[in-house]
Structure 1
Amino acid sequence: MAALYKTSSRTSTEPGKIVDSTSIGGNDSDVDQPVVVVNDQLERTVWRKLDIWILPVVSLFFLLSFLDRTNIGNAKVAGLMKDLKMTPEQYSIALTVTYVPYIAAELPSNLLLKIVGPNLMLPTMLTLWGVVTTCQGTLKTYEGLLACRFFLGLLEGGVFPGLVLYLSFFYPRLRLQTRITTFFSAASLSGAFGGIMAYGIVKLDGKSGHSGWQWIFLIEGTITVFIGLVAFFFLPDSPDHARFLNDEEKTYIKAKLREDGAIDGDDDASAFSWGEVTKAFTSIQVLLCGIVFFFGGVILYSLAYFTAPIVQSLGYTAAKAQLMSVPPFSAAFVVSMSTAWLSDRYQCRGLVTIFASFLCIAGFAMFLASTNQHIQYGSLFLSVSGAYTMAPTLSTWNANNSAPHVRRATAIAIGFIMTNSGGILATWLLGSLSPPPRYTKATKMLLIFSVLVAVFTALNVWYLAAENKKKAERRKTVGRHEEARGLGDKSAWFVYSL
C-alpha cells in the first residue's frame, strides 16, 4: 500500500481531526507511530477524478429533483390554477400531498440505499419520478394533480438524504461540504434555470392542444426520464466499483475515509443495527440539528415555491416574473459556494449557518419594512442566498457528526424529515394563510424562524464544543496500547465538527 506511510507526529494540521495511535504488527514500539495517509500525487488526482465523474451526476440528479418538485410554482404563474379551477387552499393541499409520502420515504430509503446499491436505486427513482412529472402535463382535473403529487413525493423522498449519504461514501469529512454545496447549489440553479425555461416554454401555449403550464411539465419531465436512464451506466455504488479509479486510488480513498473517521475500520460497522438507529434518534446534537432543519425547511421551501409568485405580486407580468426570479437564485449560487469553501477550510459549519440566518433576517426585515417594489425585490437576494446557504451547511454538519454508517444514514434522514415537515408549513404559510402582495404574516413568521435558526445553531455549537472538551479529557485516560488494539473508548477519538 504505497499510499500509507508512518509518521511520529501525534497531531494534525487539519482541523477537526485527531490522529490516534494504530498498532502495526502488534509491536509496542509501533504503537506510538500512527499510520497517516500521505501521498501528494494521489491527493491531487483522486479528488479531481471524483469531482469529474461523481459530482456532476449527483448535481444533475438534485437539479432535476428540485426542478420537478418546485416547477409547480412556475406552472401556477402560467395558468395552472385557472385551468384546473383551483382555489389557494387547494393549491396548498396539492403541495402538502407531495410532502406526506416524501417524509415517509426518507428513512427507509436511506437505510436501503447501501443494501440495494445507489447505482441502481438512485437512477430508478429519477426515471420513475420523471414519468410522474411528465404525466402532470396531461392533467385535466384537480384530483389528477393530487395523485401525481403524491407519487412524485413518494419517489423523490429518498433523493436528497440519499445523495448526501452517497457522497459520504467517497469524500472524507473535511472535504464534504464543498461537494454537498456543489450539488445543492443545483437547487438554486434550478430556481434560475427553471425560471428561464418556464419563460421560454410558456410561449408554446396552445401548441398541440396543451397549455403553457402543461408544456412545462411535459418538457422537464421528459428530460428527467432521459437522464435517469443514462445514469444507470455512469453511477458507481462505491469507490471499490468505480471503473475510473485504479487499485491504488481506491485504497487511498478508503484509507483517507478511515483516517478522517468517515468510515470505521471494522467491516461489521456498516451492518444494519436497530441500536444505531436508536442512538441517532436519541443524540442531542442530531435533535438540535433537527430543530434547525425544521425552521430552515420552512424558509427554504417558502422561497423555492413562492419566489416567482412573490415577484409577480410586485407588479411584474407573469412572463417577466419568471425571468425576474432568476437573479436572486444566481446570487444564492455564488454565496453558497463561497461559504462552503470557507466552511471546509476552517471547519466552521455552525458559524456559516448563523451567517446564513443573518442574511435571511436582513432580507425578510427589508421586505417587511418597505413598500418600494425595488427594495422588496432586492431583499430576495439576501433571503434566497441565506436559505440556499443554510441547507447544505446543515446537511454537511449533520453527516459529519454521526458514525458509523447506519447511525449516519438515520441522522441524515432525520434531518430531512424535519426539513420537509417545515416544507408542509411553508406550503400553507404563503399559499393561503398570508395573501399577496405583502405576505405580511408569512414574512413575520419567516423572520422569527430565521432568528430561531441562529439561536439553536449557537446552542448546538456550544454543546458540541463542550462534548469535544469531555472527549479530550477521556482521551487522556484511555491507554494508548489499549486503544491501539481497539479495546478502548473509541468514541473518545471521534471529534465533532463545529
Structure 2
Amino acid sequence: MDHPKEDVKHETDNITDDEPITVPGYDPNIESTRTESRKAILKADLYLLPFIVLCFCFLQFDRTNISNALTSTFAADLHINNSHINLAQTLFTVGFVITELPFNMISRYIGTERFLPVTMFLWGIATWSQIFVRNASGLYAIRFFIGALEGGYIPSFALYISKFYTHRELALRYAIFWASNSFAGILGGPLAIGLLSLNGRGGLKGWQWLFLIEGSLTCFLGVVMYFYLPHSAATPKHIFGKSYTIFTPREASILTTRVIKDDPTKGLRYGKPVLLAHILETFADWRLYGHLVAAFLSMVMISPMNTYAPSIIKSLGFTSLQANGLNSVGSACALVFSVSLAFSSDKLRERGVHIAVGYLWGAAGLLWLALAANGVDKWILYGGVVWTQMGMGSAQAINAAWLTAKMEDHKRPVALAAYVMSIQLANFPGNQLFRTQDAPRYRHGLIIAASCAIAAAVVILVWKVLYRLFDGKDQGVRVLSSVEVGNSRTEGSDKA
C-alpha cells in the first residue's frame, strides 16, 4: 500500500542506524524452511514458556495467598479487619509501583535471567517471614517489601519472551504467560487446603504453614531460575565452568533472525541501556495512554476479587475448605477463556475488539453477582463469581502485545513497565471497594468495578479508531522494516 511521504520519513527515522546489527545468532542471509522455524518456535514453547509460567505462578501465590489465609484464623490471630487488609494490600501496590520502572531498566541492562532470580529469592524470604507477623503494623511492613521486591518482574519477563517471538505471535504467548494467574488460582486453592489443614502442627497456625511453604518454594525456584534460563537463544549458559544451551546453533540463528527481521529496532538497541531521553520520549507518545487507561479501568476489579472471592464463596453457605476449592474453578475457566481469546486475536490479526470482549465479559460477571436478587440459590451466585473470574485480566495479554507492536524497542521497556504500573495502580481504588459494612455481597463495590470495565472497553475501541485514522492504518513497528527496504507489501501485518 502507499505511504504518505511524511509518514515514511517518520517511520524510517525510527529504525535507521549507522551501526550494524551485532546480535548473537543474527544472520540476515540464513534461509530456513517453515518446518525448521516451527520446530525452533516449538522448542521455545516447550522449554521456556512452562518454566516462566511456573515462576509467575509463585509470584501470584505470594501476592494473593493472603486471601486464602483470610479463610482461616489469620484475621482473628492478628486482630485485624477488612480495613487493615485493604491498607496492607494498598501498601503492597505502593511498593510494587515504586520499583516497577527502575527494576525493569536494571533487568533490561544486566539481563532478565540474571536479575529476576535474585529478586525472586528475596521476596520468597519476605513471604515466609510473614509467619512472624503479630499485628497490623507488621503486616503493613512485610506486604510493602514483598510488593517492592516483585516490581519489574512482569514487564521484564514480557521483554524476555519477546526475544524469541515475532509481534504477531506474542498475544498467544503473553496470554499463556498471564495465564499463570489462572494456573496459580487452580493450584492455589487445593494447595491452601492442604497447608491450612496443617493447623497446629509444629506449633504453627495453618496460615503460617501457608506462608512458610510457599515462600520457601519461591526461594528454591529463584535459585533454579538463575541456572536454567538462557541469556538468549544463541548465548550459552555457563555453570561451574561448563556451558549448555537449549537451542542448536541453527535453531538459535533462525529464532534470532526472524525476530529482528520482524522488528529491526530490537537489533539496533541490543545491549544498550534505557536512557532518560527514552523515558521522556515514551511518555510523550500519545499511543501509550489508551492502553494504560484501558488497563487501569479494567483491572479495578482484580484486587478485591482476588482478595475476597474465597470469602464471598464461603458466605454463600460453603465451608472454608470448600470455598478455597471452588475458587479454583473460576481460575480454570479463566485459563481456557484467556488463551482462546488470544489465539483468536493472533489468528484473525485483530486486537481492539478482542480486548473489549474480554473487558465486557468481566463486567457482565460483576453485574450478575451484584444484581442477583436476595435469596437466590447459592449456585447461581457462585456462577457469577466464576463468570467474573473468567473475564478478569483475560484481555491484558492482548493489550500488552498490541502496545508492544506499537512501540519501538527503545520505548518498549518503559512502555511495558508503565503498562504493568497502570494495572497495579488500579489496586488503589480496587482495595477500597469492598468495605466491611457491605459484606458479604459487596454490591456497591461490584457495580463500581463493572462500570470501570465497561468504560475500559469504550476507551480501547476509541483507540482502535484513532490507530486506523492516524497511525498507519493499524500497522505496528514490525511493518517499519518494510518501509525501510522499499517493500510496499504489508502482508502479515498486525491489525488492531
Q: CA deviation at 1:63?
A: 0.5
Paired residue for 1:201? 195
On the 8 A contact 1:136/1:145 being kept in 2, the answer is: yes
Aligned-partner Cα distance in 2 for 1:36–1:246: 14
Q: Secondary structure of the equivalent of 2:227?
A: coil
Is 1:396 the equivalent of 2:397? no
Aligned-partner Cα distance in 2 for 1:310–1:281: 39
Paired residue for 2:179? 185
Distance 1:94 1:389, change over 3 A: same
Q: Spell out, residue by residue over 1:141-185, the C-alpha distance to the aligned partner (whole angstroms, 9 max, x if none).
A: 322222211110111111111111111122111111111111211
Paired residue for 1:258? 260
On the 8 A contact 2:108/2:156 being kept in 1, the answer is: no
On the 8 A contact 2:315/2:440 being kept in 1, the answer is: yes
Q: Secondary structure of the equivalent of 2:229?
A: coil
Letter in 1 for 2:408: A
Paired residue for 1:27? none
Paired residue for 1:132? 126
On the 8 A contact 1:240/1:250 being kept in 2, the answer is: yes
Paired residue for 2:449? 446
Name the TM-score, length of structure 2 as normaliser: 0.86
Is 1:147 the equivalent of 2:141? yes
Distance 1:271 1:93, change over 3 A: closer
Paired residue for 1:287? 289
User: Which of the residues 106, 117, 120 maps onto 1:123?
Assistant: 117
Paired residue for 2:330? 328
Q: CA deviation at 1:49?
A: 1.1
User: Which of the residues 342, 363, 366 maps onto 1:364?
Assistant: 366
User: Which of the residues 402, 423, 433 maps onto 1:429?
Assistant: 433
Letter in 1 for 2:103: S
Pairing 1:44-443 to 2, within 5 Å after superposition? 44-242=38-236, 243-261=245-263, 263-266=265-268, 270-370=272-372, 371=374, 372=376, 373-404=378-409, 406-430=410-434, 432=435, 435-443=438-446
Q: CA deviation at 1:354?
A: 0.8
Letter in 1 for 2:296: F
Aligned-partner Cα distance in 2 for 1:73–1:397: 32
Aligned-partner Cα distance in 1 for 2:309–2:176: 22
Aligned-partner Cα distance in 2 for 1:412–1:147: 27
Aligned-partner Cα distance in 2 for 1:427–1:222: 27
Q: CA deviation at 1:302?
A: 2.5
Paired residue for 2:8? none
Q: CA deviation at 1:252?
A: 1.5
Q: CA deviation at 1:254?
A: 2.0
Give the CA RMSD over aligned residues: 2.9
Letter in 2 for 1:138: F
Q: Spell out, residue by residue over 1:426-445, the C-alpha distance to the aligned partner (whole angstroms, 9 max, x if none).
A: 11112x27621120110110
Q: CA deviation at 1:268?
A: 6.4
Distance 1:37 1:258, change over 3 A: farther
Aligned-partner Cα distance in 1 for 2:473–2:485: 20
Q: CA deviation at 1:425?
A: 1.6
Q: Secondary structure of the equivalent of 1:204?
A: coil
Aligned-partner Cα distance in 2 for 1:365–1:209: 43
Q: CA deviation at 1:291?
A: 0.3
Paired residue for 1:30? none
Aligned-partner Cα distance in 2 for 1:262–1:75: 48
Aligned-partner Cα distance in 2 for 1:471–1:437: 45
Paired residue for 1:42? 36
Q: Once structures 1 and 2 are overlaid, which stretch shifts more, 298-307 or 121-130?
A: 298-307
Aligned-partner Cα distance in 1 for 2:391–2:252: 37
Q: CA deviation at 1:203?
A: 1.1
Q: CA deviation at 1:265?
A: 4.1
Letter in 2 for 1:484: V
Q: Secondary structure of the equivalent of 1:325?
A: helix
On the 8 A contact 1:36/1:259 being kept in 2, the answer is: no
The number of equivalent residue pairs is 457
Q: Secondary structure of the equivalent of 2:50?
A: helix
Which structure 2 residue ranges, 5 or more long, are not aligned? 3-11, 17-27, 237-244
Distance 1:65 1:265, change over 3 A: closer
Q: Spell out, residue by residue over 1:351-408, the C-alpha distance to the aligned partner (whole angstroms, 9 max, x if none).
A: 211111221122122112213222221012221111131222222222222112x300
Distance 1:279 1:433, change over 3 A: farther
Distance 1:36 1:307, change over 3 A: farther
Q: Spell out, residue by residue over 1:313-359, the C-alpha distance to the aligned partner (whole angstroms, 9 max, x if none).
A: 22222221111111111111111111111111112222211111221
Q: CA deviation at 1:495?
A: 6.5
On the 8 A contact 1:130/1:222 being kept in 2, the answer is: yes
Aligned-partner Cα distance in 1 for 2:339–2:264: 23
Identity across aligned pairs (percent)? 26
Q: Once structures 1 and 2 are overlaid, which stretch shifts more, 108-117 or 137-146?
A: 137-146
Q: Secondary structure of the equivalent of 2:407?
A: coil
Which structure 1 residue ranges, 5 or more long, are not aligned? 1-8, 11-19, 24-33, 473-477
On the 8 A contact 1:86/1:142 being kept in 2, the answer is: yes
Letter in 1 for 2:207: W
On the 8 A contact 2:100/2:152 being kept in 1, the answer is: yes
Distance 1:344 1:313, change over 3 A: same
Q: CA deviation at 1:497?
A: 4.8
Is 1:484 the equivalent of 2:478? no
Q: CA deviation at 1:37?
A: 6.2
On the 8 A contact 1:468/1:495 being kept in 2, the answer is: no
